[in-house]
Structure 1
Amino acid sequence: MDGEQSGLSALPHVSETVLKRRKTLREVKEARTKARNAQRSFRSGTKQEKFKYPETFVRAERHKQKDEIRLHRGKTRQRKSIKVPEGQKLAFVIRIRGASGMEQSVRKVLQHLRLHKSYTGCFIKLSKQSLELLRVVEPYVTWGYPDLKITRDLVMKRGHAMVDGRRMALSDNAFIEKQLGEAGIICMEDLIHEIFAVGRRFRSASQFLWPFKLTAPKEGFRRITKPFREKGDTGNRGEAINALLRQMI
């Protein structure tokens, strides 16, 4: 009993004023937390529209007119003028511009290529048909010929699978064999080889991969409104795509 009394007497004395202040601060903190949570739930439940200046609509309309003129001129060209580069079968396409003022047919091609957002990319098989599509979306994408190392780095570091519309990690070879075993692809190396060599099962392999999510290049772009051949960024950049992808992986 004496020990208990000595222990209680050893406790520091806290005045009633300090206790009231602590209680008040605790109540204020709880009220602020509730208000913050309520504000977050309100913002997530309501879609806030950003104010747009008139210049934004004018700029978008100009982009749309440029697309319409460019596509009209492209239709007048002979299809035979499109030639697949000799010795090249594979291309990697990156979307580098947004959708402001985009013409409807351009939007459809980007959706067909599964390039729904900026800084997403995908592998495509080079053919006259695919080159026609790339010509349609040229002001919004850049593309080129990836080498084996970049192809492997893309699949290993940024690769994800698309299974039933869901994005899933390429966890192990067993997972790949389960999804692509019928196509003769049973491991990561098989998948990389089928993509790079553009084999008979290329379509299955490329559709199996979720569009690659990349980061903005460390050195930035020069001019995304100009073609690469005019010291810009859009269009075909050949093997220079590998240097760009090293910055974006």
Structure 2
Amino acid sequence: MIIAIRIRGRVGVRKQIADTLALLRLRRKMHAVLLPDNKSIKGMLRVTRDWLTWGTISDDNLEALLKKRGRKPGNKKLSADEVKLAIEEIKHGKKISALGIKPVFRLTPPSGGFKNSIKQHWPKGELGDRGEKINELLKRMI
């Protein structure tokens, strides 16, 4: 399971990239989505690499993300039982929106700020594919 986080805002985005970000449901800064790990999604992430960062989410961070930032329609929080059920269903390949959970997670800017420039690619900057290192950033944003 891949998590993608939009780092940069909406100003100066080309139409093709804006459309791709909309297809990924990443319309605003500091929003995150869970995505399946397949060829078409990776292609979309590569096209939008100048605007977001992504990587493989760990089970601990997935649980923390659903507990703290997971919402049902009506902006209601998830109960502990719903979180456990959602984690099991997600691991078996079910979409998060099919579980009655909003697909977009609204995060805060990272505590302590970004460590590098948000205009350069990983490892010199914050953008692009991070792999497992996304979990460190995600912990500071939840």
TM value normalised by structure 1: 0.53
1:225 is aligned, of 105, 115, 119, to 119
Q: Name the CA distance, whole Å, in 1 between partners of 2:86 and 2:71.
A: 12
Per the TM alignment, residue 155 of structure 1 is displaced from its structure 2 partner at its CA by: 0.2
Per the TM alignment, residue 136 of structure 1 is displaced from its structure 2 partner at its CA by: 1.0
Contact residue 67 and residue 78 of structure 2 kept, 8 A = no
Matched, 1:100 2:42: no
Q: Name the CA distance, whole Å, in 2 between partners of 1:207 and 1:240.
A: 29
- The structure whose Rg is larger is 1
Per-residue deviation, residues 141-172 of structure 1 (Å, max 9, x unmatched):
0011111000000000111124xxxx421354
Structure 2 residue aligned with 1:241: 134
Structure 1 residue aligned with 2:29: 118
1:187 is aligned, of 82, 93, 101, to 82
**Count of aligned pairs:** 141
Q: Name the CA distance, whole Å, in 1 between partners of 2:94 and 2:113.
A: 35
Structure having greater relative contact order (Cα 8 Å, sep ≥ 6): 2
Per the TM alignment, residue 207 of structure 1 is displaced from its structure 2 partner at its CA by: 7.3
Residue correspondence of structure 1 range 58-207 to structure 2 within 5 A: 90-162=1-73, 167-172=74-79, 187-195=82-90, 197=91, 199-202=92-95, 204-205=97-98
Q: Name the CA distance, whole Å, in 1 between partners of 2:125 and 2:75.
A: 35
Structure with more strand by fraction: 2
Q: 1:157 to 1:112 in 2, by over 3 A?
A: same
Per-residue deviation, residues 108-156 of structure 1 (Å, max 9, x unmatched):
1111111111001010001100001001110000011111000000000
Identity, % of aligned positions: 32
TM value normalised by structure 2: 0.89
Q: Name the CA distance, whole Å, in 1 between partners of 2:99 and 2:55.
A: 16
Structure 1 stretches lacking a partner, 5+ long: 1-89, 174-185
Q: Name the CA distance, whole Å, in 2 between partners of 1:201 and 1:101.
A: 35
